[in-house]
A and B are shown apart, each in its own frame.
Chain A
Amino acid sequence: MDPITLFSIIKGGLVLGALYALMATGLSLVWTTLGIFNFAHGAFIALGAYVAWQFASADAYGLPLGLALAVTTGVMFAIGAVIHFLLVKPFERRADVVLITVITTLAGSAILENALLLIWGPRSKQIPELVEGTVAVAEFQLAWSEVLLLVVVLAILIGLGLFLRYTRPGRSMRAVSQNREAAQLLGLDVPIYFALAFGLSAVTAGLAGVFVGTIRFMNPAMGAEPLMKALIVVIFGGIARFSSPIYAAFIIGLLEAFSIYVFGLYWAPAVLFLTMIVVLLIKPEGLFGKYQRTL
């Protein structure tokens, strides 16, 4: 393998890893805090892409990209919180909440995807590249948009990590995730922190969708495949701490890039699942996981 090929595989793996990290973090945030699995996460990915397209594309409102991203963030947060109150909150006190919310979030996912189809139509769209041009060192080429993606994703993840660790709402959210009853007895407003977790999760999914929308063509079901990958990442990595899905995401991203090169595009998912199964056989709680779910 020549160095340029190797470089482009690693580059591709890192970009994939960054996207997976963003999506998996949102997924595990909801899982650790609420104890439920959000199947509408994939629809959030598509929704973020469409909302950003609506504000940024020259065919629609044509706002400057930065502004469009800020608006998308706000919209996604609000939608995430609303979805929580509609699809999860009403069933919170039931013993079978985990199963019920599988159904409700799946339903929500179908409704959201079809709403996207109704609003924006079936024609494929693409978000304009966030920045243009490439940077080249010797023969190694790197698009500025890829650099931006890596930087932005890392900034978001670090920001989220700092939020959870050092701010009062972030700490309270962790407290709620670790012991709901004790948090209530100290007067913490549990539903608000649940909505916050859902909102933040929707924001990370939406931003991941924006990046996917700049790389590939958008369609309402575009979130399904990334959701599957994010799921593999979460299961593969375990969720002992905030950072474990992030490491796992980069491992999966690089693994996927290499297996596409070695085994071809069609075998790459099989390799990923096989890796996940082997890891789970050896370490059932995930590569970095522990048995309890905490944040």
Chain B
Amino acid sequence: MKRYIMEHTYSIEAGNYAVAGEASSSIKGLLKKLGIDGGIVRRMAIAAYEAEMNLVIHSVGGSLTIKIAPDELLLISEDGGPGIADIDLAMEEGYSTAPEEAREMGFGAGMGLSNMKRCADEFNIHSDAGIGTKLQIKIYLK
């Protein structure tokens, strides 16, 4: 088992655009305070922001967890549904199931998952339709 020296979990409410982005912004602030390399902070900030927006737009609500080990950062996004029917399709750039209200606000371009994957050194997604989605993004520190 990996030993993480720090862990922080944020609960994310579905559909609440007023606070959307606060968790990822707080994760970014935390990593900067810890003195993590700027390029890595930025990759994690982008991934966390995309993950948070996905939770707000698509899920029934969930959580975002950041774990810090001396040699890696791990971001875990978990939600209670509805799950992704076809992950391969969802990973395609430009594919989106975002509702109209999200698109009107400039979200839902269908780049979220592919952006996250680009930022990650290891990317893992598991989803069960009707149950929920769990996403893991790992970025190496060394």
Task: Verify that A and B bind, or say they do not.
Answer: no
| A interface, CB within 8 angstroms of B | none
Instruction: Report B's interface with A, CB cutoff 8 A.
Output: none
